[in-house]
Amino acid sequence: MLNKTKLNGFIPPKIVATTLLWAGLSAGVSAHDAEHHNEVTRLISAGAGMTELVIALDAGDELVAVDSTSQLPETFSSVEKLGYHRMLSAEGILALEPDLVLGSDAMGPETTLEVLEGADIKVVKLAGAETAEQLLSNINRLGELLDRQKQAETLKFRVAQSFDSIKQKRVSITGSDKVPSILFMLLQDDRPVRVGGEGTAADTIIKLAGGKNIADFVGYKSLSQEGVLALQPDLILISSRSESEEQSAPDKVLKQMPLLIHTPAGEHKMIHSLKAQALLGGLGLSSLEAADKLASSLIEIQKY
């Protein structure tokens, strides 16, 4: 879960200089390149955000397995699927004979990782990114580990541009008289709707985009249909654990919770799906994409 204090300390002032930051990191990694040449031919990636970065660095051909939260293009059908990234099995991983297991600091359990290291398998955990600096640093590190330094340079530039694009939109949104209010709802089968408050990954995306999270509590809480109606959000973000459910979720939610049509979000059809990958592993490519799209929607709302 992302830390609010760190978030408040980073978003407005530090994103301003992401392009300069990228340039500085680029200089650092260039000096490092000559010292780090690793040959990885059998890679396991655990964590949706981590796997996104591996694919973006053009290292997908080395993947032999990913965890259950990772989403892969159809062309990667031969890649094995492991369990949840926090509950990996040493036996299943050892059978695949990887030379590198990558994951976020949430990867585990530690007993599994200790078994892997005892078998001379390299295990690397990178901190979940809560800042632009950490995300760019993670890309640097992955570029070195996977011998994809040139691809890392290109990706860092793209990420820095994304931060700058979001910042420009955020300045436009927060500089107006009304900052749109947003409600995030997590939908899970056989469980009540849960709303994301402060400190959640959804809260990070909302604030990065320049919106106001209307849920004024910490963490997740269940909320009734009447409770959502009382909040009158301008936009509702929804997410689930299933890709197929995400695609149909807005219509599904309105059928299940018809009172939402009486909110500004329902009236203006501002009920949007959020990919599950955007909520896993801290700031990453999916969460940046989500924040950028959300910022564009908030600018549209301000025209009403």
What domains does the chain contain, in order, with CATH numbers?
43-126 (3.40.50.1980), 177-302 (3.40.50.1980)
How far apart are alpha carbons 245 and 20 in whole angstroms? 40
How far apart are alpha carbons 252 and 174 in whole angstroms? 31
pLDDT at res. 280: 81
Render pLDDT for 185-242 as a digit per residue (tens, 0 to 9): 998 777 788 999 998 989 999 999 999 999 999 999 998 889 989 999 999 999 876 5
pLDDT at res. 279: 86
Whether the bond into 250 is cis, omega within 30 of 0: no
Residues of the chain with pLDDT under 50: 1-17, 19-20, 23, 27-37, 247
Q: Are 104 and 282 in contact (CB under 8 A)?
A: yes
3-state DSSP call for residue 185? strand
Q: Give, in order, the Cα–Cα distances in Å from 244 to each of 87, 106, 252, 255, 276.
A: 24, 26, 12, 17, 11
How far apart are alpha carbons 29 and 137 in whole angstroms? 10
Paired tokens of 178: 């009304």
pLDDT at res. 249: 65
Q: Are 207 and 178 in contact (CB under 8 A)?
A: no
